[in-house]
């Protein structure tokens, strides 16, 4: 489905080693397949030497044998020229297939495991099925030689047809330079990559699909005269239609810029979101057999050319149905034109046959452009703001705030005069909240904490803009830091809170200013107040009607206050939206120093959005003399670079704000009415069909939005029903489980009561037994005690009294008496008696010892009985606790929990 000439060019782009021709001996030594015959990789023959070189040229043959190649197999592909799909296959050996027509060739990237692999695609049996064949070469250096052999084979099969017309000879002295500019459009394929869109061969129009995120790729290559170095891309612009005005071009976000790997081309890549309102025309399905035009422009800064040079490409496009199957035609996918740049002594650049208009449109653009050091624009967030303030000023503000807090509903009379001089930096957070009426706004604070937990449909846009907001300020410059995190959460929360407007560029700058003076919850509340109550929200609506009205009012004020500058701009065709868009959409926060920005927010919260006109007119008045000396490009550049830098000086900023506060802006209502009258007249003069088509598109948009809301609500309703059904099922399952548990518990209760009765009976029996044993022990103790007492009292005295001799020696208590007088004649009798008494005394002591031993044994038995009684009582008590008390507590717990659930 494509020419061999095109394939040869594709193969030449794949070749990475420019010296490969010298390595293999030049094209004359390499053969190629005859036209119409398949080309295959031939395995090495068994009789070849082992040290065969990677590519061995065989003279007078139509093939080249490469050794140590492994055929990894083939698979069906949808995009036969996609490098991404070619590199997805793994190194698994499958089988081999005949090749009927080769369409594309690719090799793995250097430094990756696929660097020794190459692959080519073919149309399988001339049908709509495409296959890719993958090879791996053990000798990595041979891959480039193999690809060169492919290129040589197809060059021969095309009978050495020239790829393009012969380029004109280089003429260094000529003032004409030739450039070839190509346009390629890529779409998100839903797999995380972007693939080139197909192109209608008959109409030569790009076939786009609605709603798909796209990328624009521009290739610029100089083909004649001495090389003019391209320093950088100044801007990539896009607009639906043909012969569009400069003001209608929309700046795209640049993703990359720079030279190609071979250094021959300069490549610019930009992201394009077709879902934005300005690209609505190329995001709606095109009627069958029709097409539309799209204009793409790239502005380049070229060495030896004073102003940026614009290359303008007008291409046909057709938006296909999402369900339409897009086959891949293999004609050239890029759109290419040749431009001739002529340099003149006056250093004006012109391009023929296309006119290169070097003016740029910055409408709704907040992208920063890298310029030379002397022309570098002021980064947002620049400038220091001192918190020092005179004591008298602080005392005045302190008295005012004290009175204001007594009645927050009424602003003090002296407040406007103080605000015009600027709020002290240390008090701005408090004063801004009071001016916005957010001093007691707890419901917004609570809602903010809920909003940050929800998903935002504009999360990618918010994330992309966070790094661009106040990069010159320390609090916001660190990726992932506290400043960027808080800024992200505020922008995300507002996009969810205000679904109609969502997130728009400009909000992040205003939110960053607020974050520098208050916590994020209060900053969100003030942001909501500014958007809804100060008219800023109306500027961001889809048709931007209110924004255009503001531009009209500014031009009318210029005509009244600065007529000579108004006339100059009119002659230059310089419209207000070309330089004042950021002023209104970001409240001067995007480019001007912080000292001036904070003062403007002071006035905005105190006097309303009309302050923007005061500041804008003051800027134009102070810059009038410089602007009158500029042309179109110079004026735009002056607004972009010198004007913000001029007010880095605090003194200059003070003078500007004094001038702005002294100006009285009137007739805004009159100019607004005039604008709407002109718009009505234009609509009446407009063709009815166009008006109806526009109204139809508006209604379709509203209908789509309502259908989307309806779908969301239906989805939410279904989700809620499913969740409720699931909760009900869970509750029923839980109820069944609790009922089963209750039955088991009741059964356990009955068993516990039976066990309790049994234990009580055993306890009573044990108590009775213990009582009997205790009574028996007590009776024995009493008996033993009485025996011992009687023995002590009567045993010894009775024996002593019964003996005449002993009664003399012992007292009634049984104690031995001391007899001082003895009879001399009875010494022998006395000795005998003493001996007898001693014997009796020993017998009595022995009997007494035995009695004491029996007493000790009785006491030990009593202690054992008491110990057994204590153990029995403890067992009874433990049995009561372990069965009865535990069962009762579990029943109470279950019945209590069930009672709560039933309540």
pLDDT tens per residue, range 179-220: 899 999 988 877 667 888 877 765 578 888 888 888 999 999
| Per-residue model confidence (pLDDT) at position 880 | 61
Cα-based distances in Å from 723 to 277, 316, 729, 735: 37, 50, 10, 18
| Per-residue model confidence (pLDDT) at position 474 | 87
Please name every residue paired with 102 in a beta bridge, in sequence order, or none if there are none: 122
| Per-residue model confidence (pLDDT) at position 59 | 40
- Residue in 139, 136, 155 with CA at minimum distance from that of residue 23: 139
Give the max Cα distance, the chain: 180
Asked if 541 and 698 count as a contact pair (C-beta separation under 8 A), the reply is no
The DSSP 8-state label assigned to residue 131 in this structure reads: E
Q: How far apart are CA 841 and CA 843, in angstroms?
A: 5
The DSSP 8-state label assigned to residue 33 in this structure reads: P
Asked if 108 and 117 count as a contact pair (C-beta separation under 8 A), the reply is yes
Strands 230-240 and 250-251, bridge-based pairing? antiparallel
The two tokens of residue 203 are 């109409």
| Per-residue model confidence (pLDDT) at position 42 | 28
Strands 117-123 and 102-107, bridge-based pairing? antiparallel
The two tokens of residue 600 are 């403007």
Q: How far apart are CA 428 and CA 514, in angstroms?
A: 10
| Per-residue model confidence (pLDDT) at position 804 | 63
Asked if 577 and 551 count as a contact pair (C-beta separation under 8 A), the reply is yes
The DSSP 8-state label assigned to residue 163 in this structure reads: S
Strands 176-188 and 253-259, bridge-based pairing? unpaired
Query: Residue 125: which region, alpha, beta or left (left: phi > 0; alpha: psi -120 to 50)?
Result: left
Asked if 550 and 610 count as a contact pair (C-beta separation under 8 A), the reply is no
| Per-residue model confidence (pLDDT) at position 201 | 60
- CB count, 10 Å around CB of 763? 17
Q: Coil, strand or helix: which one is 691?
A: helix
Q: Which domains does the chain have, with CATH numbers?
A: 69-80+93-156 (2.30.29), 176-363 (no CATH), 391-682 (1.10.472.80)
Q: Tokens 């071009």 map to which residue?
A: 249
Asked if 621 and 659 count as a contact pair (C-beta separation under 8 A), the reply is yes
Cα-based distances in Å from 122 to 131, 145, 755, 884: 5, 20, 88, 86
| Per-residue model confidence (pLDDT) at position 264 | 83
| Per-residue model confidence (pLDDT) at position 692 | 78
Q: How far apart are CA 12 and CA 27, in angstroms?
A: 13
The DSSP 8-state label assigned to residue 120 in this structure reads: E
- CB count, 10 Å around CB of 478? 12
- Residue in 358, 276, 368, 365 with CA at minimum distance from that of residue 579: 365
Sign for the pseudo-dihedral over CA of 688, 694, 698, 699: positive
The two tokens of residue 849 are 């010892």
Q: How far apart are CA 501 and CA 334, in angstroms?
A: 36
- Residue in 365, 376, 337 with CA at minimum distance from that of residue 586: 365
- Residue in 418, 400, 417, 397 with CA at minimum distance from that of residue 408: 400
749 half-sphere exposure, CB direction, 13 A CA radius: 13
| Per-residue model confidence (pLDDT) at position 267 | 92
- Residue in 636, 647, 631 with CA at minimum distance from that of residue 369: 636
Query: Residue 357: which region, alpha, beta or left (left: phi > 0; alpha: psi -120 to 50)?
Result: beta
Q: How far apart are CA 197 and CA 185, in angstroms?
A: 6
Which residues in the chain show pLDDT less than 70?
1-69, 71-101, 123-129, 151-174, 191-192, 201-203, 324-333, 344-375, 542-543, 686-687, 691, 791-829, 879-903
Share above pLDDT 90 across residues of the chain, in percent, rounded to a whole number: 19
The two tokens of residue 840 are 């009796």
pTM beyond 0.85:
no
Q: Tokens 């065969």 map to which residue?
A: 52
Asked if 449 and 538 count as a contact pair (C-beta separation under 8 A), the reply is no
Asked if 527 and 507 count as a contact pair (C-beta separation under 8 A), the reply is yes
Please list, in sequence order, all residues whose beta carbon lies within 8 angstroms of the beta carbon of residue 505, skipping any fewer than 6 positions away.
364, 366, 465, 585
Please name every residue paired with 230 in a beta bridge, in sequence order, or none if there are none: 302
Q: How far apart are CA 307 and CA 348, in angstroms?
A: 8
Q: How far apart are CA 162 and CA 9, in angstroms?
A: 10
């Amino acid at each position: 489905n494509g020419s061999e000439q095109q394939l040869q060019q594709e193969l030449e782009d794949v070749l990475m080693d420019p010296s490969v021709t010298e390595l293999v001996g030049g094209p004359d030594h390499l053969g190629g397949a005859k036209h119409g015959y398949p080309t295959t990789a031939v395995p090495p023959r068994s009789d070849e030497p082992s040290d065969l070189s990677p590519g061995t040229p065989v003279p007078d043959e139509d093939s080249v044998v490469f050794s140590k190649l492994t055929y990894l197999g083939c698979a069906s592909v949808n995009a036969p020229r996609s490098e991404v799909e070619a590199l997805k296959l793994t190194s698994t050996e499958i089988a081999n297939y005949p090749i009927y027509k080769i369409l594309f060739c690719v090799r793995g990237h250097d430094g990756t495991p696929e660097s020794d692999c190459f692959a080519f695609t073919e149309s399988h049996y001339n049908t709509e099925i495409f296959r890719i064949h993958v090879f791996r070469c053990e000798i990595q250096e041979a891959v480039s030689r193999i690809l060169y052999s492919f290129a040589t084979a197809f060059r021969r099969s095309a009978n050495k047809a020239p790829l393009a017309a012969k380029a004109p000879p280089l003429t260094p002295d000529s003032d004409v330079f030739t450039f070839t500019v190509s346009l390629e459009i890529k779409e998100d394929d839903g797999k995380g990559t972007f693939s080139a869109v197909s192109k209608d061969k008959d109409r030569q129009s790009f076939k786009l699909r609605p709603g798909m995120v796209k990328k624009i790729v521009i290739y610029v290559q100089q083909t004649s005269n001495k090389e003019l170095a391209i320093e950088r891309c100044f801007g990539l612009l896009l607009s639906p239609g043909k012969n569009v005005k400069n003001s209608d071009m929309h700046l795209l976000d640049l993703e990359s810029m720079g030279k190609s790997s071979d250094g021959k081309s300069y490549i610019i890549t930009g992201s394009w979101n077709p879902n934005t309102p300005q690209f609505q025309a190329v995001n709606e399905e095109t009627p069958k057999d029709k097409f539309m035009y799209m204009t793409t422009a790239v502005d380049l800064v070229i060495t030896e050319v004073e102003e940026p040079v614009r290359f303008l490409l007008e291409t046909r496009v057709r938006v296909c149905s999402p369900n339409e199957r897009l086959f891949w035609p293999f004609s050239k996918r890029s759109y290419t034109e040749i431009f001739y740049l002529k340099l003149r002594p006056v250093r004006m650049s012109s391009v023929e046959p296309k006119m290169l208009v070097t003016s740029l449109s910055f409408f709704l653009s907040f992208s920063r452009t890298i310029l030379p050091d002397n022309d570098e624009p002021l980064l947002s967030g620049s400038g220091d703001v001192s918190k020092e303030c005179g004591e008298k000023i602080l005392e005045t503000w302190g008295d005012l705030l004290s009175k204001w807090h007594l009645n927050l509903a009424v602003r003090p009379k002296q407040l406007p005069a103080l605000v015009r001089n600027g709020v002290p930096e240390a008090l701005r957070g408090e004063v801004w909240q009071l001016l916005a009426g957010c001093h007691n706004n707890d419901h917004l604070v609570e809602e903010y904490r809920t909003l940050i937990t929800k998903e935002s449909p504009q999360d990618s846009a918010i994330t992309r803009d966070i790094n661009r907001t106040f990069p010159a300020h320390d609090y916001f410059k660190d990726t992932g830091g506290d400043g960027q995190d808080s800024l992200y959460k505020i922008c995300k929360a507002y996009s969810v809170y205000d679904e109609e407007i969502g997130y728009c560029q400009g909000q992040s700058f205003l939110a960053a200013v607020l974050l520098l003076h208050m916590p994020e919850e209060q900053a969100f509340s003030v942001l909501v107040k500014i958007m809804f109550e100060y008219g800023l929200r109306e500027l961001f609506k889809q048709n931007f009607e209110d924004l255009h009205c503001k531009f009209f009012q500014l031009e009318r004020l210029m005509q009244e206050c600065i007529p000579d500058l108004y006339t100059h701009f009119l002659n230059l065709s310089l419209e207000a939206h070309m330089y004042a868009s950021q002023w209104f959409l970001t409240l001067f926060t995007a480019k001007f120093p912080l000292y001036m920005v904070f003062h403007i927010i002071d006035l905005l919260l105190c006097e309303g959005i009309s302050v923007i006109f005061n500041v804008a007119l003051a800027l134009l008045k102070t810059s009038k003399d410089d602007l009158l000396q500029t042309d179109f490009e110079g004026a735009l550049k002056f607004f972009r670079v010198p004007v913000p830098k001029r007010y880095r000086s605090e003194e200059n900023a003070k003078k500007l704000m004094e001038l702005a506060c002294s100006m009285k802006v009137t007739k805004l209502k009159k100019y607004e009415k005039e604008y709407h009258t002109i718009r009505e007249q234009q609509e009446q003069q407009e063709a009815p069909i166009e008006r109806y088509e526009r109204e139809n598109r508006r209604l379709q948009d509203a209908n789509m939005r309502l259908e989307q809301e309806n779908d969301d609500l239906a989805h939410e309703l279904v989700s809620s029903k499913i969740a409720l059904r699931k909760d009900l099922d869970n509750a029923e399952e839980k109820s069944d489980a609790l009922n089963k548990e209750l039955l088991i518990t009741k059964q356990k209760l009955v068993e516990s009561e039976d066990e309790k009765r049994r234990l009580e009976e055993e306890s009573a029996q044990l108590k009775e037994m213990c009582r009997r044993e205790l009574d028996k022990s007590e009776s024995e103790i009493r008996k033993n005690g009485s025996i011992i007492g009687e023995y002590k009292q009567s045993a010894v005295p009775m024996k002593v009294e019964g003996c005449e001799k002993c009664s003399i020696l012992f007292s009634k208590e049984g104690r031995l008496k001391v007899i001082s007088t003895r009879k001399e004649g009875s010494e022998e009798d006395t000795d005998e008696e003493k001996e007898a008494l001693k014997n009796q005394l020993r017998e009595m002591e022995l009997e007494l010892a035995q009695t004491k031993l029996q007493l000790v044994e009785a006491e030990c038995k009593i202690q054992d009985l008491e110990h057994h009684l204590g153990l029995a009582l403890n067992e009874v008590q433990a049995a009561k606790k372990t069965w009865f008390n535990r069962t009762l507590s579990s029943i109470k717990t279950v019945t209590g929990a069930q009672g709560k659930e039933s309540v």
